[in-house]
Amino acid sequence: MHVPTVEGANIDAASQQGLAALERELRLLGESLGERTGDVVAGIKRRNAESGVALEPLVEDSFVRVGTVSTTAVARWMAGEGAEVAREVGRESWQIFGQLAAQRVVALDEVTKRCLRWRDAAEDMVRELVAEHGLCEEVSERACAMLQRSLDVTLVRMCQSFEAERKRAHEELGRRQEELAFMATHDALTGLPNRTLILDRIEQMLVRSRRNQTPVAALFVDIDNFKSINDTFGHGAGDQLLRAVAARLQGVVRDVDALGRLGGDEFVVVAEGMSLSAGPELIAERLLEALKQPFTLAGVERTRLTVTASVGIAMGDRSCAEELLRDADIAMYRAKWEGKNGYTLFETGMQDDIQSRMELEMDLREAQEGEEFFVVYQPTFDLRTMSPTGMEALLRWRHPRRGIVGPDEFIPLLEDTGLIVDVGGWVLRQACLQGAAWHQDGHEIGIAVNVSARQLDRDELVDEVATAIEHSGFRPDLLTLEVTETTLMSNAQATAERLRRIKQLGVRIAIDDFGTGYSSLAYLQRFPVDALKIDRAFISRLREDPDGETLIRTLVQLGKSLSIETLAEGIEQATDLSLLRQVSCDVGQGFLFARPLEVEICDAFLENWAVRTAAVDDLRVPLLA
Ligand code: C2E
Ligand code: CA
Ligand code: CA
């Protein structure tokens, strides 16, 4: 307990002699009390036990210590030691109180009660000692006053200590609450507002927009191919990239608008009023522009990552924030599927498209397991001799509910999901086996297989082609891989190298849909090309456009001058055919000759053809359409 200074005690000035006698007696009492400290503590313990409130053993020990220290302190004060010494001794009990308060292990009223019990126990002891030593009543009163004084000061100090602790805890709680509120509304990785906060912002914007008739828009930003970046460079690099992307986007978003992260690689910008005066497209363009410069990441220093994004925009009133965000999301999906690295404005009806596409995607994954894919073959003809030169393998899907689905409906999805790598590989193996089988039957016929960009992006393709040839025993010079112009241009260097290695296997390379892509002739020299498949569009144009003929003539001439075979696809009419023969196009393909045919019909077709050419030397077109 705290021990006040001697000046604090109100000593009544009696005679010098009386005072000396009093101090002697008080000293005796103090010394005796000091010796009986253990009994005082025992008295406290007894009182505590009677109260029925037991504290944890460690806390009880603390109180025993407080009782001991306080008794010692007040005893030394009575015994006439300097106030400083007594205070020094008392300080320890302070610290103990401070700890108990800080740890909040004992209720304030219990501490108070225990202080009072110390006073009672010490007072009992004082009276006992006064009687024992036959001391005067005044000494007894003085000693009790000193005890009471110690108690008073202690109680006040104790309350101060509790109060300081309460304040500290309160402040701490406030800080924690702020932290929690921030965490609940912000994304931990980028520090940007999260979905909750963004929805809140949109909700407010919608209210303002209704009141003031001002526009409001949400732009849903999704990084293209983020998953493959993550897979290639690891999650650490992925996180770094997300932070860098967030910073870039933040740099071009106006203060009045808001940027948030919805999770994963999805960001959103919400804008209203003036920001939209030039249209939301401008914001989308700024966002895409911000990503243009390549990113460099710590740990993958030598790699400069080029990142693009697809942006979906939803604008105008909605019944709630979620709806605006959902529409922006739908538009974003559309932007993805329209080729990525661009933006699309939401329109009603988009949702249904997305829905059926998603269903198709799920069905596609099952198709692979359910063996629902099969290959049909469309013959090509030598336009000079009118005899078949080869068969183009074309993929079909026998859908359990929809029936036969054409590749235009599902190849883009196979490409987006990467499933094309497996499925395309399967077509390649299948086609080689079929080619070998026809060869065995005596038909020396070529096989053409379409190869998509995703397949050509991988070095493994070279081995896959080699294995397909080896496994089937098909003659490599009878195999042609058809690659589109756009595929060639997407990663020109690496693609050229892979094609060169494939050519070393003896396989032929054809450029499919020639004339629709970059139409740059420079790459014809760069890539090892054997054939040009002139796009269908040029052939169908022949019928309406008088210039069409000149164009075909030019393309065929181009092929001749580079010693590259020319093949015209989509020949539907006899007039097309005669014109193509006239300009000396080498090979033709189209419904006029034959549609893509199932294997059994191809067998019959090849047999018939052989019989026919043996019987009559007649160059008539077999209409097998
Ligand atoms: P493509 O490579 O240009 O294939 C030729 C397409 O033109 C085929 O459509 C064929 O049925 C069609 N066609 C042929 N002659 C005529 C004609 O006289 N008139 C008209 N209007 N069309 C004709 P299909 O089978 O629907 O294939 C469409 C596209 O799907 C193919 O275009 C090709 O790019 C892709 N594809 C098909 N199978 C595969 C495959 O196994 N792998 C890859 N990567 N793509 C494939
Ligand atoms: Ca083709
Ligand atoms: Ca084509």
Residue 619 has pLDDT above 50, yes or no: no
Helical (H) or strand (E) element with 449: strand 446-450
For residue 519, what pLDDT band results from cuts at 50, 70 and 90? Answer: low
Q: What is the mean predicted confidence (pLDDT) over 16-35?
A: 91
Burial track 459-486 (b if 16+ CB lie within 10 A, e otherwise) = eebbebbbebbeebebbbebbbbbbbbe
**pLDDT tens for residues 280-298?**
999 999 999 999 999 988 8
Residue 4 has pLDDT above 50, yes or no: no
**pLDDT tens for residues 407-431?**
998 998 898 888 999 999 999 999 9
211 CB burial (10 A radius; 0-12, 13-18, 19+): exposed
Q: How far is CA 320 from CA 153, 262, 271, 284, in A?
A: 63, 17, 15, 22
Half-sphere exposure of 296 (CA within 13 A, CB side): 3
595/391 Cα distance (integer angstroms)? 11
How many residues does the structure list for the chain? 625
Cα 591 to ligand 1 centroid, rounded to whole Å: 12
Q: How far is CA 327 from CA 218, 282, 344, in A?
A: 9, 19, 11
Helical (H) or strand (E) element with 398: strand 388-399
Query: What's 341's DSSP letter?
Result: S
Predicted pLDDT of residue 614: 58
415/452 Cα distance (integer angstroms)? 8
**Count of C-beta atoms within a 10 Å radius of residue 181:** 10
Predicted pLDDT of residue 388: 94
Residue 525 has pLDDT above 80, yes or no: no
Cα 394 to ligand 1 centroid, rounded to whole Å: 6
Orientation of helix 137-185 relative to helix 57-78, angle to 10°? 140
Q: Which residues in 165-257 belong to E strands, given as ranges?
A: 216-223
Q: Is the CB of 570 under 6 A from ligand 1?
A: yes
Q: Is the CB of 412 under 6 A from ligand 1?
A: no
The residue with tokens 């080498």 is 586
Q: Measure the N-to-C terminal CA separation of the chain; round to a whole number of Å.
A: 110
Determine what percent of the chain is predicted with pLDDT higher than 70: 92
Q: What is the mean predicted confidence (pLDDT) over 143-158?
A: 86
Cα 352 to ligand 3 centroid, rounded to whole Å: 29
Which token pair is 12? 């009544």
Cα 513 to ligand 3 centroid, rounded to whole Å: 4
Predicted pLDDT of residue 161: 78
To test the ligand 1 pocket, which listed residue (411, 513, 573) has its Cβ within 8 A of the most ligand atoms? 411
Determine what percent of the chain is predicted with pLDDT higher than 90: 61
Q: Is the CB of 473 under 6 A from ligand 1?
A: no
Taking CA atoms only, the protein residue closest to ligand 1 atom 4 is: 394
Q: What is the mean predicted confidence (pLDDT) over 3-20?
A: 59
265 CB burial (10 A radius; 0-12, 13-18, 19+): buried
Predicted pLDDT of residue 150: 85
For residue 46, what pLDDT band results from cuts at 50, 70 and 90? Answer: very high
Taking CA atoms only, the protein residue closest to ligand 1 atom 45 is: 450
Residue 337 has pLDDT above 90, yes or no: no
Lowest mean pLDDT among 266-270, 464-468, 498-502, 610-614: 610-614
Predicted pLDDT of residue 624: 45
Predicted pLDDT of residue 11: 53
To test the ligand 1 pocket, which listed residue (450, 461, 571, 580) has its Cβ within 8 A of the most ligand atoms? 450
Taking CA atoms only, the protein residue closest to ligand 1 atom 35 is: 407
For residue 5, what pLDDT band results from cuts at 50, 70 and 90? Answer: very low
Q: How far is CA 26 from CA 43, 275, 296, in A?
A: 22, 87, 84
Predicted pLDDT of residue 36: 96
Closest CA to 423 of 402, 400, 394: 394
Q: What is the mean predicted confidence (pLDDT) over 135-158?
A: 89
Q: What is the mean predicted confidence (pLDDT) over 141-169?
A: 85
Q: Is the CB of 413 under 6 A from ligand 1?
A: no
What average pLDDT does the structure give for the chain? Answer: 88
Q: What is the mean predicted confidence (pLDDT) over 59-82?
A: 89
Closest CA to 322 of 213, 425, 202: 202
Residue 621 vs residue 560, higher pLDDT: 560
Q: Which residues in 283-328 belong to E strands, given as ranges?
A: 295-297, 300-305, 309-315
206 CB burial (10 A radius; 0-12, 13-18, 19+): buried
**pLDDT tens for residues 320-330?**
999 999 999 99
| Residue 295 β-bridge partners | 305
199/118 Cα distance (integer angstroms)? 61
Residue 167 has pLDDT above 90, yes or no: no
Predicted pLDDT of residue 102: 66
For residue 10, what pLDDT band results from cuts at 50, 70 and 90? Answer: low
Predicted pLDDT of residue 613: 62
Q: Give the number of whichever ligand sits closest to the CA of residue 394.
A: 1
Q: Enter the pTM of the model.
A: 0.60
Question: Which residues, in sequence order, are CB contacts of 571 under 8 Å at separation 6+?
Answer: 539, 577, 580, 588, 589, 590, 591, 592, 593
Predicted pLDDT of residue 615: 54
Cα 529 to ligand 3 centroid, rounded to whole Å: 15
Q: How far is CA 610 from CA 30, 439, 445, 484, 616, in A?
A: 132, 13, 12, 32, 10
Cα 409 to ligand 3 centroid, rounded to whole Å: 15
Q: Which residues in 455-556 belong to E strands, given as ranges?
A: 479-484, 508-514, 531-534
For residue 518, what pLDDT band results from cuts at 50, 70 and 90? Answer: low
Q: How far is CA 524 from CA 355, 484, 511, 530, in A?
A: 41, 12, 9, 10
